[in-house]
A and B are shown apart, each in its own frame.
Chain A
Amino acid sequence: MKPFDIPQNDYMYSGHVGCPGCGAAIAMKFALKALGEKTIIVMPACCWGVMSGSHPQTALKVPILHTAFASGAAAASGLRAALDMRGDTETTVMTWAGDGGTFDIGFQALSGAVERNEDFIYACYDNEAYMNTGVQRSSATPAGARTTTTPGKDWKRTRKKNIVEALAAHRITYAATASIAFPEDMILKFKKAKSLKGGSRFIHIFASCPTGWRMPSEMSVKIARLAVRTNLFPLYEVEEGVRYTLNYTGDRPVKDYLKLQGRFAHLTDQDMDAIQKMVDEDWKQLQKKI
């Protein structure tokens, strides 16, 4: 991999209160590098709601509109309408929500806004559980994971909800997955989302969480990369709900990814084989659509 052309400007300050090695912090950094200064962030309850701090000392160089857990997409719809009324069509509105505010609590608002084809970007940084409240499972928690609400031998047995497919079913203008381990890919996708102004755009970001996943903070990016390299979290794009583009093909067994995290420490070889089967099946399904 050669040094790539990543925008030099950062719209995030040092000194946010995220945990060491926070994947969501890296995600925000890349997203804002792509979107630039003319951006307003709508933020429902999530880790970042805490991390950014309160005005006028927030960790971001762009304005933030904090909103209730369920209403990230609804508030963004309203904000867009207000900006349009003022004649400001240049500013990008981006909802920045965690998986809880997207997959679970905010899902109806999101589904409604996307159905209305509201003109904003909805970015979900997915750390696969309700992390800042103490690692409770969400519908984004993957099968096999331990959380505080799926503890011990009661680890989560059901699959992670496939949010991109759910949004593709809405025939959304643009939906894509991105990973903090692939900065160039992620920045390009945010730039593309910005350029597709006029309709709803959704980016699902894989953002590792050292605290909740029980892994060393320095492994944050490495593990995010492994999620892609094992095809567990494929990098792809969907335009208008039907035109699929695959950005990367993995080459590693899912075991390599699972074994590095404490949240999967209880899994037996058989369990891991079962997860591998799920991954293979999903991968096959995805390839049929490409």
Chain B
Amino acid sequence: MARIERLIGRGLYQQALECLLVENPFPAVCGRVCYHPCENSCNRAGLDCAVAINGIERFLGDEALHGRIQPTVFRFPPRGKKIAVVGAGPAGLSAAYFLSLLGYGCDVFESRPEPGGVLRWGIPSYRLPEDVPAWEIRRIQSMGVQIHCNASVSADFLEDLCRSYSGVFIGAGHGKSLTMNIPGEPFALDGLDFLAGVKQGELPDVKGPVWVIGGGNTAVDVARTLARSGLGVTIAYRRTRSDMPAFEQEIEPAMAEGVRIMELVSPVRIEKQGGSYRLVLQKMKSTGEKVRGRMGAIPDGTDVFSITAGQVFTAIGAGPADLWIPPLPGDARQIPLSHCTAVVHEIPLVYGGDLTNSRKSIPDAVASGKQAAMVLDLLFTEGKHDIPEKLKAFHVGAGPSLSMEMYIGGERKERSRRVVSYGDINTDYFPPRPRVLKSSEENTAGEDVAVDEARRCFNCGICNDCDNCRVFCPEVAVVKEDGSARRIDMDYCKGCGICVVECPRCAMDLEEEPV
């Protein structure tokens, strides 16, 4: 990240995007819909405010989208192996992209008439206009990935795939909505279907007031889409707002657009009442005990109340179709990983995306595709042993994030694995300066703003040629011969450590020489 910001800060957009494309096939998409956890761990927040990484990513993605830069994506020569990918959602497409980068041929099978999965059918246009994922999917296709639409994969077809391909990635997603099992459920409309319909230009005739049952991103997207068409919308959620699985940065604008949230209510039944519906709700209360990170909720007494709704929507989550449920843990042939599960039959099958991710999000889906590509490559080249252990060599940061650049042995592999913290930054060199790039759904940041924002980046842990080490060295022992990188003349370095302290961004470290 630091390197990308540094390149943008110098106006080298093409190199910056090439750097980014080694790790993420969807910069323009993620620049719009990612919930950017990266900004939460940005060290700059310790000084004033995190760098607007998400907005910069969007700028970079759009530079390519508008044809202003033509990045070349690094690729290994073909290895003569073909992988089948089930599902052309963000996970499947990422898997195909990274596999193709590693030199594998890929066929992607998609049941719907167009590729993209949730990018195409699930995210409202005001957050992600159709042409953005379409363009980035074309880039993946231009790498030789074949996408076959209207190609549902049945159990028999899957067996065929297992016979004719070297490996299969299954990113079929959670497309089957869960049901509430309450009387009158058929009166409610399904949230996911509704969003898909809207994306195809079908806005059903909905009467307000609208009630949306659920608390995830789909519920919020449904509510926002309807609120934007002028209807009064309330989300009914069984826990409290802080427990909603929807991302805060989606809930906030929804509320700003007039969506209300009723906390601690659970649906009991839906009744038809003339031209509208009666939604009976049960008041809930917190149990005070957290279950899997969220507060449990139980009915608060027996009292129920009802409200009148013009239309009720359900968006209480989705699950996989039966065929795609990954095998249970405990199977010896199974390799469980952070973002996917590999199963080694005659050929390897890797389940990924929503099927295996605990957090159902676009960046997690991309991460899953990347991990799957590495796992398949390791299985083919080194066998099935110690895969989780081997993957550790390509981790960046403290979490499970993997770097494809490190996997393919790029420059990053040479860098220190140390995670620079805010305390390591020499803030003498960084006067506080508020964000320049303010996020906006409508517009991508202009070049000036994006560059200025990128320059706010500390460039943690990487040298940006500020030259402080050489300027301050009392021994004239930091040397820079014409055209080459700086080096320390160990014959004369006294180890005072000034260069390390005066490095604003902790790109240097002082280590004791082993005796």
Residues A21 and B497 in contact in the complex (CB < 8 Å), given A10-B476, A14-B489, A15-B492: yes
Which of B475, B492, B498 lies in contact with A218, CB distance below 8 A?
Answer: B498
Decide yes or no whether B511 CB sits under 8 A from chain A.
no
On chain B, the residues within 8 Å of A216 by CB distance are 497
Decide yes or no whether A85 CB sits under 8 A from chain B.
no
Q: For the complex, what is the distance from the CA of A26 to the CA of B466, rounded to whole Å?
A: 17
Decide yes or no whether A56 CB sits under 8 A from chain B.
no
Q: For the complex, what is the distance from the CA of A219 to the CA of B501, rounded to whole Å?
A: 7
A218 near B467 with CB under 8 A, answer no
Decide yes or no whether A53 CB sits under 8 A from chain B.
no
A14 near B502 with CB under 8 A, answer no
Decide yes or no whether B513 CB sits under 8 A from chain A.
no
B476 near A14 with CB under 8 A, answer yes
CB proximity of A114 to chain B, nearest CB, Å: 30
Chain B stretch 479-515: residues in CB contact (< 8 A) with chain A: 489, 491-492, 494-498, 500-502, 504, 510
Decide yes or no whether A117 CB sits under 8 A from chain B.
no
Map CB proximity to B onto A199-236 as digits: 1 under 8 Å, 0 otherwise: 00000000000100000111111100100010000000
Chain B stretch 378-437: residues in CB contact (< 8 A) with chain A: 426, 428-429
Q: For the complex, what is the distance from the CA of A216 to the CA of B498, rounded to whole Å?
A: 10
Residues A225 and B428 in contact in the complex (CB < 8 Å), given A14-B475, A25-B474: yes
B498 near A220 with CB under 8 A, answer yes
On chain A, the residues within 8 Å of B497 by CB distance are 20-21, 216-218
**B431 closest partner in A (C-beta):** A1
A3 near B475 with CB under 8 A, answer no
On chain B, the residues within 8 Å of A183 by CB distance are 471-472
B467 near A21 with CB under 8 A, answer no
**B502 closest partner in A (C-beta):** A221
A6 near B467 with CB under 8 A, answer yes
Chain B stretch 184-224: residues in CB contact (< 8 A) with chain A: none
**A219 closest partner in B (C-beta):** B501
Which of A10, A15, A210, A229 has its CB near the most chain B CB atoms (within 10 A)? A15
**B464 closest partner in A (C-beta):** A3
A221 near B472 with CB under 8 A, answer yes
Decide yes or no whether A176 CB sits under 8 A from chain B.
no
Q: For the complex, what is the distance from the CA of A6 to the CA of B480, rounded to whole Å?
A: 14
Q: For the complex, what is the distance from the CA of A14 to the CA of B488, rounded to whole Å?
A: 12
Decide yes or no whether B303 CB sits under 8 A from chain A.
no
B475 near A221 with CB under 8 A, answer no
B474 near A1 with CB under 8 A, answer no
Decide yes or no whether A137 CB sits under 8 A from chain B.
no
On chain A, the residues within 8 Å of B475 by CB distance are 14-16, 25
Q: For the complex, what is the distance from the CA of A216 to the CA of B426, rounded to whole Å?
A: 16
Residues A222 and B472 in contact in the complex (CB < 8 Å), given A20-B496, A216-B497, A217-B496: no
Residues A221 and B494 in contact in the complex (CB < 8 Å), given A14-B476, A21-B474: no
Decide yes or no whether B50 CB sits under 8 A from chain A.
no
Which of A20, A23, A29 lies in contact with B495, CB distance below 8 A?
Answer: A20
Decide yes or no whether A248 CB sits under 8 A from chain B.
no
On chain B, the residues within 8 Å of A3 by CB distance are 465-467
Decide yes or no whether B298 CB sits under 8 A from chain A.
no
Which of B428, B467, B474, B497 has its CB near the most chain A CB atoms (within 10 A)? B474
A26 near B494 with CB under 8 A, answer no
Residues A217 and B428 in contact in the complex (CB < 8 Å), given A3-B465, A3-B466, A14-B476: no
On chain B, the residues within 8 Å of A229 by CB distance are 428
Q: For the complex, what is the distance from the CA of A225 to the CA of B500, rounded to whole Å?
A: 16
On chain A, the residues within 8 Å of B134 by CB distance are none
Decide yes or no whether A18 CB sits under 8 A from chain B.
yes
Chain A stretch 68-123: residues in CB contact (< 8 A) with chain B: none
On chain B, the residues within 8 Å of A217 by CB distance are 494, 496-498
Q: For the complex, what is the distance from the CA of A20 to the CA of B495, rounded to whole Å?
A: 7
**A21 closest partner in B (C-beta):** B496
On chain B, the residues within 8 Å of A6 by CB distance are 467, 471
On chain A, the residues within 8 Å of B429 by CB distance are 1
CB proximity of A28 to chain B, nearest CB, Å: 9
CB proximity of B48 to chain A, nearest CB, Å: 15
Map CB proximity to B onto A14-52 as digits: 1 under 8 Å, 0 otherwise: 111011111101100100000000000000000000000
Decide yes or no whether A12 CB sits under 8 A from chain B.
yes
Q: For the complex, what is the distance from the CA of A26 to the CA of B474, rounded to whole Å?
A: 5
Residues A218 and B474 in contact in the complex (CB < 8 Å), given A3-B467, A20-B495: no
Q: For the complex, what is the distance from the CA of A222 to the CA of B428, rounded to whole Å?
A: 9
Which of A12, A220, A221, A222 lies in contact with B476, CB distance below 8 A?
Answer: A12
CB proximity of B489 to chain A, nearest CB, Å: 6
Q: For the complex, what is the distance from the CA of A18 to the CA of B498, rounded to whole Å?
A: 14
Q: For the complex, what is the distance from the CA of A20 to the CA of B476, rounded to whole Å?
A: 12
Decide yes or no whether B151 CB sits under 8 A from chain A.
no
Decide yes or no whether B477 CB sits under 8 A from chain A.
yes
On chain B, the residues within 8 Å of A21 by CB distance are 474, 494, 496-498
20 examples of A-B residue contacts, CB within 8 angstroms: A1-B429, A3-B466, A10-B476, A12-B476, A14-B476, A14-B492, A21-B474, A21-B496, A23-B474, A25-B475, A26-B474, A29-B476, A180-B472, A183-B472, A217-B498, A218-B500, A218-B501, A221-B472, A225-B428, A229-B428
Q: Ordered nearest first, which 7 A-B pairs have the shortest CB separation?
A: A218-B497, A14-B492, A21-B496, A25-B474, A20-B496, A217-B496, A20-B494
* Beyond A1-B504, A217-B498, A220-B496, 17 additional pairs, beta carbon < 8 A: A6-B471, A10-B476, A13-B476, A14-B492, A19-B494, A20-B497, A21-B474, A22-B474, A22-B496, A25-B475, A26-B498, A29-B474, A217-B494, A218-B501, A220-B498, A221-B501, A222-B428
